[in-house]
């Protein structure tokens, strides 16, 4: 399987944010999307997730077969907002997502253990600290299988230990033949990852 973008353009509010962007990510590979604030990293990830239309260009998941014919449905999208209901408990949120996404991979308890949140699964999501919210959202990547993980500044708000644990989870996903496209200002501990630089670096 291979995620391929050719001459992609992204627009926001009628303004072209980036154009002529091409890259390919194969199974087991990661691509780090870097660049200054406003360069279009989030816009690119949202296009890959199918949440925005590209203004031009081609996007495909080659070799996805009948199971993954399109890019969007083959992706987990971890955006700036964590996509959880604040009034539901951590466990209720994840049970909802697993039913919605299907393709169960880990149980909710296993995923919570993997992100170190097993003791607070009963708390409403809205009570969680910033880093705990991020960890609960990361657990969403584990409960249902998707070959492509789209991660927008995934380690923002994580403490050192959580960052290390998340690094292991990402490397595990790649070892199992998954793909990662991550917008980040920080190193993610993914050796050998490719880099897509967007916009002009600030001087």
Ligand X SMILES: Nc1ncnc2c1ncn2[C@@H]1O[C@H](COP(=O)(O)OP(=O)(O)OP(=O)(O)O)[C@@H](O)[C@H]1O
Interacting residues with ligand X (CB under 6 A): 12-13, 17, 35, 37-43, 183
Cα separation values, 81 from 33, 136, 152, Å: 18, 12, 10
CB 134 within 8 A of CB 78: no
Least distance in angstroms from the C-beta of 13 to ligand X: 3
Least distance in angstroms from the C-beta of 41 to ligand X: 4
If the CB atoms of residues 13 and 65 are measured against ligand X, the closer one turns out to be: 13
Least distance in angstroms from the C-beta of 45 to ligand X: 8
Q: Is 99 exposed, middle or buried (0-12, 13-18, 19+ CB in 10 A)?
A: exposed
From the list 31, 37, 38, 30, the residue with the least C-alpha distance to 10 is 38
Least distance in angstroms from the C-beta of 79 to ligand X: 10
Q: Which residue is nearest to ligand X (CB)?
A: 13
Checking DSSP bridges between strand 2-12 and strand 75-78, what pairing results, if any?
unpaired
Q: Is 153 helix (H, G, I), strand (E, B) or coil?
A: coil
Q: Is 100 helix (H, G, I), strand (E, B) or coil?
A: helix
Least distance in angstroms from the C-beta of 85 to ligand X: 24
Least distance in angstroms from the C-beta of 98 to ligand X: 28
If the CB atoms of residues 34 and 107 are measured against ligand X, the closer one turns out to be: 34
Helix 160-175 to helix 130-143 angle (10° resolution) is 10
DSSP run (H or E) holding 149: strand 148-152
If the CB atoms of residues 36 and 63 are measured against ligand X, the closer one turns out to be: 36
Cα separation values, 119 from 106, 113, 114, 178, Å: 18, 9, 12, 29
């Amino acid at each position: 399987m291979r995620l391929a973008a050719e001459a992609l353009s992204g627009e926001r509010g009628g303004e072209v944010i980036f154009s002529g962007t091409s890259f390919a990510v194969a199974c087991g590979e990661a691509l780090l999307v870097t660049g200054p604030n406003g360069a279009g990293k989030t816009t690119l990830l949202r296009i890959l997730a199918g949440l925005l239309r590209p203004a031009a260009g081609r996007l495909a998941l080659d070799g996805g077969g009948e199971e993954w014919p399109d890019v969007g449905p083959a992706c987990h999208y971890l955006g700036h907002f964590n996509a959880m209901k604040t009034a539901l408990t951590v466990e209720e949120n994840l049970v909802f997502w697993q039913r919605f996404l299907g393709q169960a991979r880990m149980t909710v308890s296993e995923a919570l253990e993997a992100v170190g949140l097993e003791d607070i699964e009963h708390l409403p999501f809205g009570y969680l600290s910033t880093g705990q919210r991020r960890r609960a959202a990361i657990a969403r990547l584990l409960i249902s299988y998707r070959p492509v993980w789209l991660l927008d500044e995934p380690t923002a708000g994580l403490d050192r230990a959580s960052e290390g644990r998340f690094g292991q989870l990402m490397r595990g996903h790649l070892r199992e033949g998954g793909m990662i496209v991550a917008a980040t200002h920080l190193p993610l501990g993914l050796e050998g990852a490719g880099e897509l630089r967007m916009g002009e670096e600030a001087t």
